[in-house]
Amino acid sequence: MRLALKIDVDTLVGFREGVPALLEVLAAKGVPASFFVAMGPDHSGRAIRRLFTHQGFWQKMRRTGAPRLYGWKTMLYGTLLPGPAIAASAPDLLRRIPAAGHELGLHGFDHVHWQDRLSTLSVALIQKEIRRAQQIHEEIMGYPAISFAAPGWQCTAAALDALVAARFYYVSNTRGRHPYFPALANRVWPLLEIPTTLPTLDEMLGLEGRRAADFTQEVVRVLQPGQTQVLTIHAEVEGRAFLKDFSALLDQATAQGVTWIRLIDYASELWDRWQDVPKQAMAAGTLPGRAGTVTCQVLMETPP
């Protein structure tokens, strides 16, 4: 019964405030995690376009109390306020992540641009996004990142081409049940995909009256022996307003007998037996509590 924590850092406030708080809690509990940081500017305010493009976006913002989670300043970055640099704003903080024994990977360059515009981007433009993120990582860390998590769980065939060209060891771009090699239109990409397998707090919060404690109970309840699950949390959410609830989740899962594992270590195990990893399709799908669509694993044993 294993659980991998995937920590997405989408915003400046999530990086500057959420990451230090999460590092402290994880150290106290002895839990390793995989952090994926958006390396470029915080353009969170530009997500306002989703009011017109993502059904249910306004309802989700109201249900989760977005201003309290992110702050009004964050919600204006890239529109009324300039979009500040995320990773470059605190290089020493970025270095603290692997120094504490955690994994550090890329969460793109401009999170909002990737999440909202990916379907319109060519392979060349996506490669540019990846290169810009990788350049910042290399300038700060002195070496390239070897893992990538797509902003907003958005992935296309063009993105797969760009990610293969970038030679990532593995990616975590989709929602699904288990690891796989992406396959579309009788084509298979040699790119190990480890999807997020559990719902997220920001999706479930307020849905049918759920509180954070209810979410914790649901996560712990579905963990089963012999399985490796992947839970995505957000530094802006669990690292700030819901830090105590996140700490309680760690305690309850550990008490249940969970072993914690980094995604990079899980990937190493999977590559050792890569012949057993299935080839499966991916497609846009909807999830409870989430506005718009995300890229989901299609549970088929062979490519379409």
Q: What is the pTM of this model?
A: 0.93
Look up the CATH number of the domain holding residue 165: 3.20.20.370
- Total domains, the chain: 1
CA distance 289 to 59: 9
CA distance 72 to 112: 17
Structural domain contains residue 304: no
Domain that holds residue 231: 2-297
**pLDDT by 10s per residue, the chain, length 304:** 999 999 999 999 999 999 999 999 999 999 999 999 999 999 998 877 665 566 566 466 666 766 667 777 888 899 889 999 999 999 999 999 999 999 999 999 999 999 999 999 999 999 999 999 999 999 999 999 999 999 999 999 999 999 999 999 999 999 999 999 999 888 999 999 999 999 999 999 988 899 999 999 999 999 999 999 999 999 999 999 999 999 999 999 999 999 999 999 999 999 999 999 999 999 999 999 988 899 999 975 443 3
Structural domain contains residue 66: yes
Structural domain contains residue 109: yes
Give CB contacts under 8 A, 24+ apart, made by 189-193. 189/160, 189/161, 189/164, 190/164, 191/160, 191/163, 191/164, 192/267, 192/270, 192/271, 192/274, 192/277, 193/282, 193/297
CA distance 174 to 209: 27
Structural domain contains residue 127: yes
Strand partners, 196: 175
Structural domain contains residue 303: no
Structural domain contains residue 110: yes
